[in-house]
Amino acid sequence: MNKSACAVALLLIASFIIVPEYNIRAEEVTVVYVDDDFNASTAGWQMDHFDSVQDAMDAVSAGGTVVVYAGVYYENVVINKTVTLVGEDRDTTIIDGGGSGDTVTVTEYADHLDMSGVTVRNC
């Protein structure tokens, strides 16, 4: 094998051994929207548009905002990151736990929570 063929072979082998580190990261989602009328035909479905407050909480980046439109959301929500939760109107935007456990739980991972325009009931 001549020198150039040997050098090419060594470079190929080295390229498999020494793999450059790439910082591949999903795009941060800083604002998400919740409406009980959203569904699979909604643009942005399950990316930044949800029909569940918990799904939106899971998708939003730390420090992001969850905007909740009027409706009654029958679910228990766990907040495990710093977020802002903004309801359309406290009289018409309701998270209802149905009496099964804590309706909203804020964990120690949520350094800060701003919540307005939302009624939490049936804790």
Closest by CA to 73, choosing from 87, 58, 52, 59, is 52
Closest alpha carbon to 67 in 28, 113, 118, 104: 118
104 token code pair: 């909203």
Question: pLDDT band at 14, cuts 50/70/90?
Answer: low
Confidence of residue 24 (pLDDT cuts 50, 70, 90): very low
Q: Using alpha carbons, list the distances in angstroms from residue 1 to 16, 28, 31, 53, 110.
A: 21, 51, 59, 65, 62
40-44, 54-58, 81-85, 99-103: which range is least confident on average?
99-103
Domain boundaries, the chain: 24-121
pLDDT of residue 21 exceeding 50, the answer is no
User: Which residue is associated with the tokens 């390229």?
Assistant: 15
pLDDT at 25 over 50: no
Quick one: pLDDT at residue 1? Answer: 59
